A = this chain, B = another copy of it.
Amino acid sequence: MSAEANNTENTGAWADISPDAARRLVTAAVEAFAERGYHATTTRDIAGRAGMSPAALYIHYKTKEELLYQISGVGHRLALAIVREADDAGGTPAERLAAVVRSFVRWHAEHHTTARVVQYELAALSEEHYTVIAARRREIDAAVRAIIEDGVRSGAFDVPDVSGTTLAVLSLCIDVARWYAPDGRRTPDEIGDLYAGLVLRMVGAAGS
């Protein structure tokens, strides 16, 4: 098991998946998809990594796509929870936006393997499942946009294009998962601080 899969499990990303066999299959699938891509991975590969037979996998997941959907669902639910939690902590729009960026960046750095699978394999979801995930993505976007709109309304931010700026802020945070390396120069917290400062400049926060 990779350090991240282990860490992900320990920090509870997959903690609400039960029984234990289903949880092991999900972490095995994340690793396999990340290493070889969704289409190059077979359910047999995933079962093998989880120390199970293909028949045992089938009890929990009828198809490889169901595993991807579960991974994507958990990933997006956690991302939305992180954005909402940071936002609910309260404070000025600048404090809320900085808190959301810090948490979102840290999540994409610490769970970069999961985040890559979630972001790069969206096209492999069934149409029905993609519709559910797309709705969750719109909720994340709306939560960030609402903070930026609050800042504009109160005069704390100066943003000519709110929807474009929301897109850019989320894109900047998500792309951390692509380039982040655990042995790199910056810790997840340091990247979070750097990015919170850059985002406050993007929204024209006074004093940033």
Interface residues, chain A, CB within 8 Å of chain B? 36-40, 116, 119-120, 160-161, 164-165, 167-168, 171-172, 174-176, 178-179, 186, 191, 194-195, 197-198, 201-202, 204
Nearest chain B CB to A144 CB, angstrom units: 14
CA distance A134 to B178 in the complex (A): 15
Interface on chain A toward B: helix, strand, loop, or mixed SS? helix
Residues of B within 8 A of A194 (CB): 161, 164-165, 168
Closest to A179 in B: B171
Other-chain residue from B119, B120, B164, B174 in contact with A186 (beta carbon distance below 8 A): B164
CA distance A165 to B186 in the complex (A): 13
Closest to A205 in B: B201
A197 adjacent to B160 (CB under 8 Å): yes
